[in-house]
Amino acid sequence: MTDTKREAPASPEKRAAALEIVLRRKADMPKNFVAEFTEHADDAWITANGAQMVARAWTDPEYRARMLVDGTAAARELGFEFPEHHRNLVVLENTPTVHNVIVCTLCSCTAYTIIGAAPDWYKDLDYRARVVRESRTVLREMGLDLPATTEIRVWDTTADTRYMVLPMQPPATTGWPVQKLATIVTQDSMIGVTRLEQVKG
Amino acid sequence: MTDTKREAPASPEKRAAALEIVLRRKADMPKNFVAEFTEHADDAWITANGAQMVARAWTDPEYRARMLVDGTAAARELGFEFPEHHRNLVVLENTPTVHNVIVCTLCSCTAYTIIGAAPDWYKDLDYRARVVRESRTVLREMGLDLPATTEIRVWDTTADTRYMVLPMQPPATTGWPVQKLATIVTQDSMIGVTRLEQVKG
Amino acid sequence: MDGLHDLGGKQGFGRVKYPSAPQNESWRPLVRGLHAFAIESHIYNMDEFRHAIERMTPRHYISAPYFERHLTAIATLLIEKGIATREELESLVDGEFPLSGPSGPGRLPFAPQSFAIGETVRVKNEFVSGHVRVPAYIRGKTGTIVHVSTPTPFPDAAGHNMPAEIEPTYDVRFRARDLWPDTSDEALNHVAVFQSYLEKVESA
Amino acid sequence: MDGLHDLGGKQGFGRVKYPSAPQNESWRPLVRGLHAFAIESHIYNMDEFRHAIERMTPRHYISAPYFERHLTAIATLLIEKGIATREELESLVDGEFPLSGPSGPGRLPFAPQSFAIGETVRVKNEFVSGHVRVPAYIRGKTGTIVHVSTPTPFPDAAGHNMPAEIEPTYDVRFRARDLWPDTSDEALNHVAVFQSYLEKVESA
């Protein structure tokens, strides 16, 4: 069935609209459900959440220690939501010689309530296939050329544990207040395809 | 590069024509090469070749014995060509309790000079993926419902050995002359997705 | 299932499209919202959803954008759950509505075992036709447990709406060179593995 | 290479389209003839051709008809052999001409060994980034030799235009239940395996 079935299916827009009609008619989906869900997701599940956790960890050694033991509790401590099926948040600490990078080879799971919705490149089949086997090469192609001495740790999100990387604080930002520090923490750095050391003060 | 590259490539017709121009201009391909090759292939590499071998085996026990030991020699004995890269022809004998079926999971190799060009279904990704693991199920879906007592032998054409199945002679055709027998031997029976026992006299 | 979705370590792929180009799929938020409603209403669970994506025909899976995979799974599950019919969906779109293929059997978790951080474990050499969360690249391989998680429902059961006991998952550390000898970059590869997928390694 | 072309045993595929529908690809004989000329003229060999098909981008490989895969491989090899340029092909078609991806490294055959009919052998647990003719479903598995063929060139070398010593291939018999425990139909599966891919099994 893969070679000759060449009729064009209806557009994704039309198909999505059909599903909406079905869920309203047959499953009592409230009229405003999608709009309200979208607003909530766009407001609440944002990269700034993880960035605040990272900035706090940089400035509060006790929070950092708690976060590395129990990421879920550390997220909740700052008031961030964790959906039921994300049972665990594990925070992976980068060091000068250890670099962590996250992937989901089987689908595209992420800790989206904490680091924001996954970027398209993370869902790319090329990323899913290659980063586990060619980690150093893929990171270099993406602009992160790690020294040969850096140990790379790849984390495949195959269960209900969600990961986030705790990047290293850029030396130039020593002494900054936590809210200013949070502004330099990117989503890519919490997935582990960039590091922040080069950030200027 | 798999998700968003949605520009339509030039049609296969145009691409094939471009390759023809290049091979004529740069590799001195004679003007008539393709036409002559096509004529030769369509005339010489046909299912009737294998069918004649099968019919001969049904009527000549010594030929049958030679064929089962060295299929290549048995093909050459009847004057059939074997290209250089098909080093071996192995003939697989069906019996009342053994059924052989051929596939090429990695591409779509066949003994095409002997049984004719592979049918499209043989090149189907579904056939390649499934017949090795779900042989009985796939054969049943294709119309061949083998008794539970039949041993299925699957042959994957992963090297330069080419296989053909020697089907069982239909009981109703006992005593037929060899040329008449050859007319009932189908390509599918020499690949092993059909048997011929039900052929009427 | 041994589907094409199981991409880890597959070769022939190219450069990651990074950074991502701007997208113009205006229907993304709608698909995301419909899925959220279906989960919240317990029409299906996350494992059933993932399995419905995996069951897409291979060509469709490989070529469809991410959120088209989602909408295909939603549609498939709405039909399988008796909430819609294929004809109804095709009539609503006035055309073809590609769906996922049929499901293999689910299975229940294995008897509880216990593994400790630092313990060497082997991933069972299992072939599962239904939903399963073992990527093929660790099948039969040996690694070390580095983290134990809160128990979660066994996906091979949950993905088929069977009673899914909760069980721990373990972050297991492998060496890339053990997974793909001579043909990988050097790395420590961690995979989150459900307890039922693991077996003890006899100590020498 | 561990490419998506290695389909044996993959799940999620559907019914075979049997009998085949009539085709209307009028360009098939041309592609077949061009390939025959290229082989006859030693522009490339069959292993290079097969590898060029395997190197197609996964989405293209999965979606292209059989003879489009062939023409993609021919075009790729004509460019790699310096007979054409990509720009030339694109100019001739006045549009996009999709090609295969780059090749991994080839490798030479291993030191000769000898195996006999009836002998139990193991397929090496090898991961090869270049051309290789071991389907993943027999990697590391144990079977019995049932036939020895005339020696042929080692594809892992020939596929990269390296000196390819000839070596025997063996038809090795496996049990389906050993390849895919609990999730296959019962059968004897035979695979033609080059000598370099095999290793001796210590007798107990």
- Chain A: give the shortest CA distance to residue B170, in Å: 33
Of B1, B124, B126, the CB nearest to A126: B1
Q: Is the per-residue pLDDT at A1 higher than 70?
A: no
Chains that touch B (3 or more CB pairs under 8 A): A, C, D
| Contact (Cβ atoms closer than 8 angstroms) between residue C134 and residue C161 | no
* Rounded-to-integer distance, Cα D187 and Cα C196, Å: 28
Of C14, C58, C63, the CB nearest to B1: C14
Whether a cis peptide bond, with omega within 30° of 0, leads into C19 is yes
Q: At what angle do helices D28-40 and D46-54 cross, to 10 degrees?
A: 130
Q: Which two tokens stand for residue D113?
A: 């060994």
Residues of C in contact with D64 (CB under 8 A): none
Which pLDDT band, with edges at 50, 70 and 90, does D204 fall under? low
* Rounded-to-integer distance, Cα B53 and Cα B68, Å: 11
| Contact (Cβ atoms closer than 8 angstroms) between residue C186 and residue C177 | yes
| Contact (Cβ atoms closer than 8 angstroms) between residue D154 and residue D194 | yes
Q: CA of B70: which chain D residue's CA is closest?
A: D149
| Residue positions of A annotated with a catalytic role | 104, 107-109
* Rounded-to-integer distance, Cα D94 and Cα D107, Å: 38
Average pLDDT, chain D: 96
* Backbone dihedral angles phi then psi of residue C11, each to the nearest 5 degrees: -105, 165
Q: Is the per-residue pLDDT at A4 higher than 60?
A: no
- Chain D: give the shortest CA distance to residue A105, in Å: 15
Under 8 Å CB pairs connecting chains B and D tally to 244
Residues of A in contact with B126 (CB under 8 A): 1-2
B11 flagged as catalytic: no
Contact check, Cβ <8 Å, D188/B90: no
C94 CB-near residues (< 8 Å, 6+ apart): A10, A14
Percent of chain D with pLDDT over 90: 98
Residues of A in contact with D14 (CB under 8 A): 1-2
Q: Is the per-residue pLDDT at A6 higher than 90?
A: no
ipTM, interface predicted TM-score of the complex: 0.95
* Rounded-to-integer distance, Cα B173 and Cα B193, Å: 20
Residues of A in contact with C187 (CB under 8 A): 135-136, 151-154
Q: CA of D45: which chain B residue's CA is closest?
A: B85
Of D30, D78, D135, the CB nearest to B22: D78
Of C65, C89, C151, the CB nearest to A18: C89
Q: Are strands C188-194 and D142-148 parallel, antiparallel or unpaired?
A: unpaired
Across residues A65-92, what is the average pLDDT?
90
CA atoms within a 13 Å half-sphere pointing along the CA-CB vector of B165: 28
* Rounded-to-integer distance, Cα D102 and Cα C200, Å: 41
Q: For chain C, which residues lie within 8 Å of any Cβ of chain D, measuring from their own Cβ?
A: 1-5, 9-14, 54-59, 61-63, 101, 104, 125-129, 140, 180-184
Coil/strand/helix, residue A152: strand
Q: How many residues does chain A have?
A: 201
Which pLDDT tens digit goes with each residue over B25-65? 999 999 999 999 999 999 999 999 999 999 999 999 999 99
User: Which amino acid, residue C88?
Assistant: E
Q: Which two tokens stand for residue B140?
A: 């049943």
Under 8 Å CB pairs connecting chains A and B tally to 16
- Helix, strand, coil share of chain D (percent; to 5): 30, 15, 50
Percent of chain A with pLDDT over 90: 90
**Alpha-carbon torsion A170, A172, A178, A180, what sign?**
negative
Contact check, Cβ <8 Å, D101/C9: no
CA atoms within a 13 Å half-sphere pointing along the CA-CB vector of A134: 21
C63 touches chain B (CB under 8 A): yes
Which pLDDT band, with edges at 50, 70 and 90, does D179 fall under? very high
* Rounded-to-integer distance, Cα A85 and Cα C37, Å: 15
Q: At what angle do helices C86-93 and C66-80 cross, to 10 degrees?
A: 130
* Selected residue of D17, D62, D69 to mutate for chain A interface (largest A Cβ count, 10 A): D17
Q: For chain B, which residues lie within 8 Å of any Cβ of chain C, measuring from their own Cβ?
A: 1-4, 125
* Range with lowest mean pLDDT among A14-18, B7-11, C48-52: B7-11
Q: Are strands A151-156 and C188-194 parallel, antiparallel or unpaired?
A: parallel
D7 touches chain A (CB under 8 A): no
Contact check, Cβ <8 Å, C37/A160: no
Chains that touch A (3 or more CB pairs under 8 A): B, C, D
Q: Is the per-residue pLDDT at C204 higher than 70?
A: no
For the entire predicted model, the pTM comes to 0.96
Cβ atoms within 10 A of the Cβ of C204, count?
A: 3
DSSP state of A120: H
Q: What is the pLDDT of residue A7?
A: 64
Contact check, Cβ <8 Å, A1/B126: yes
CA distances from D175 to B191, C114, D119 (A): 20, 33, 15
Of D63, D104, D180, the CB nearest to C63: D63
Of D56, D128, D181, the CB nearest to C127: D181
* Selected residue of C20, C93, C170 to mutate for chain A interface (largest A Cβ count, 10 A): C93
- Chain A: give the shortest CA distance to residue C90, in Å: 9
Nearest in space to D32 (alpha carbons), one of B84, B111, B40, B79 = B40
Coil/strand/helix, residue D89: helix
Q: Which two tokens stand for residue C37?
A: 């409603």
What is the 3 state secondary structure string of chain B?
A: CCCCCCCCCCCHHHHHHHHHHHHHHHHCCCCCHHHHHHHHHHHHCCHHHHHHHHHHHHHCHHHHHHHHHCHHHHHHHCCCCCCCCCCEEEEEECECCEEEEEECCCCCCCCHHHHCCCCHHHHCHHHHHHCCCCHHHHHHHCCCCCCCCCEEEEEECCCCEEEEEECCCCHHHCCCCHHHHHCCCCHHHHHCCCCCCCCCC
Per-residue pLDDT of chain B (201 residues; tens, 9 = 90+): 333 344 689 999 999 999 999 999 999 999 999 999 999 999 999 999 999 999 999 999 999 999 999 999 999 999 997 776 677 899 999 999 999 999 999 999 999 999 999 999 999 999 999 999 999 999 999 999 999 999 999 999 999 999 999 999 999 999 999 999 999 999 999 999 999 988 887
DSSP state of A95: B
Which pLDDT band, with edges at 50, 70 and 90, does A5 fall under? very low
What is the 3 state secondary structure string of D167-200?
A: ECEEEEEEEHHHHCCCCCCCCEEEEEEEHHHEEE
Q: Is the per-residue pLDDT at A82 higher than 90?
A: no
| Contact (Cβ atoms closer than 8 angstroms) between residue B146 and residue B172 | no
B104 flagged as catalytic: yes
| Contact (Cβ atoms closer than 8 angstroms) between residue B197 and residue B170 | yes
| Contact (Cβ atoms closer than 8 angstroms) between residue A2 and residue B126 | yes
Chain centre distance of CA A177: 24
Q: What is the pLDDT of residue B87?
A: 75
Chains that touch D (3 or more CB pairs under 8 A): A, B, C
Of C27, C84, C135, the CB nearest to A158: C135
Residues of C in contact with B137 (CB under 8 A): none
Q: Which two tokens stand for residue A175?
A: 């002494």
Contact check, Cβ <8 Å, C18/A23: no
Average pLDDT, chain A: 94
The strand order across the sheet containing C198-200 reads A98-103, A151-156, C188-194, C169-175, C142-148, C120-123, C198-200
D87 touches chain B (CB under 8 A): no
D41 CB-near residues (< 8 Å, 6+ apart): B27, B29
Whether a cis peptide bond, with omega within 30° of 0, leads into D19 is yes
Under 8 Å CB pairs connecting chains A and D tally to 15
D27 touches chain A (CB under 8 A): no
D138 CB-near residues (< 8 Å, 6+ apart): D123, D172, D174, D179, D191, D193
Coil/strand/helix, residue C31: helix
CA distances from A191 to A103, A165, C19 (A): 8, 6, 13
Which pLDDT tens digit goes with each residue over C53-107? 999 999 999 999 999 999 999 999 999 999 999 999 999 999 999 999 999 999 9
Contact check, Cβ <8 Å, B4/C65: yes
Q: What is the pLDDT of residue B145?
A: 97
Contact check, Cβ <8 Å, B125/C58: yes
B8 touches chain A (CB under 8 A): no
Residues of A in contact with D17 (CB under 8 A): 1, 3-4
- Chain C: give the shortest CA distance to residue A55, in Å: 24
Query: Which one has a higher pLDDT value, A5 or B155?
Result: B155
Binding-face residues of D in 153-182 toward B, CB within 8 A: 155, 169, 171, 176, 179-180
**Alpha-carbon torsion D46, D51, D54, D56, what sign?**
negative
* Rounded-to-integer distance, Cα C79 and Cα A102, Å: 34
Transcribe D98-152 into DSSP letters: ----------PPPPP----TT-EEEE-----SS-----GGGTT-EEEEEEEPPPE
Q: What is the pLDDT of residue B7?
A: 64
Buried b (16+ CB within 10 A) or exposed e, C95-118: eebbbbbebbebbebbeeeebeee
Contact check, Cβ <8 Å, A4/D66: no
Catalytic annotation, pick one of B11, B107, B135, B189:
B107
Which pLDDT tens digit goes with each residue over C105-164? 999 999 999 999 999 999 999 999 999 999 999 999 999 999 999 899 999 999 999 999
* Rounded-to-integer distance, Cα D166 and Cα A62, Å: 66
Contact check, Cβ <8 Å, D95/B129: no
Q: What is the pLDDT of residue B1?
A: 35
